[in-house]
Amino acid sequence: MTSLATRAIVNLLYKSPFNPKSSDGPDDAVRDLVEGPRALGPGRALDLGCGHGRHALYLARHGWDVTGVDLVRDAVDTARDRVAAAGATARLVQGDVTELDDLAVPGGQDLIIDAGCFHGLPARMRDRYVPGVTSRAKPGALLLMLALAQHPVLKGVREDEIRARFQGWEVVSAQSLAGREMLRYGTGSKLLRTAFEKGWFDPWRYLLRRKQGA
């Protein structure tokens, strides 16, 4: 179970000026997977750290069976309101992404999105995150992850750790998002914008594929 200290820190970060205010639309990489030249057909999707639901809503609008999970109740409430207002359907759960069994999150996922969740977890929670996510992914499923390599508060994660932890997955691509490109996915305080412009957080996007038979 998530400690009270961890819950308090996550809630403070969510409401702080250093938390990016996400755009309403999906990241380009998500849009490419859903609408690009090699688009996936609609299936089952899991949005980890779903925030106010921009990816969950986008996927639901494109025919996906979506489950979103976030620890912050305010974020989940906002996501539910947005999905309802759009006349869409998505299952949005307030809870810990490392406790998917307790949250009854279904398996057979075709696409898993983590747009800034894993990189903030302490090591003990990462130990639970990986098997929980892996057990819910179909063979051949994709995991799209946006992660910062460094942060003044969060733990951060680098490619070598991604490869070491996700043994049942193939790293299809690892792309640096340093510089102004990060500003396309949200806004925030002046200091945060400067940090993104200068690439201080060393942001990366990873695309992983669940190995067959692993």
pLDDT digits (tens, 9 = 90+) for 93-132: 999 999 999 999 999 999 999 998 999 898 999 999 999 9
- Of 13, 28, 14, 46, nearest in space to 182 by CA: 28
Q: What's the CA dihedral at 167, 26, 50, 164 to 10 degrees?
A: 10
Q: Which tokens go with 142? A: 């994709």
pTM to 2 decimals? 0.86
Residues 169, 133 contacting (CB under 8 angstroms): no
What is the number of helices (H) and of strands (E) in the chain?
Answer: 7, 9
CB within 8 Å of 51: residues ≥ 6 apart: 22, 70, 72, 75, 79, 115
CA distance 205 to 84: 30
CB contact at 8 A, 194 and 129: no
List domains and CATH numbers for the chain: 4-12+27-210 (3.40.50.150)
Beta bridge partners of 21: 187
The per-residue pLDDT for range 130-185, each reduced to its tens digit, is 999 999 999 999 999 999 898 666 778 999 999 999 999 999 999 998 765 665 55
Distance between CA atoms of 156 and 202, rounded to whole angstroms? 9
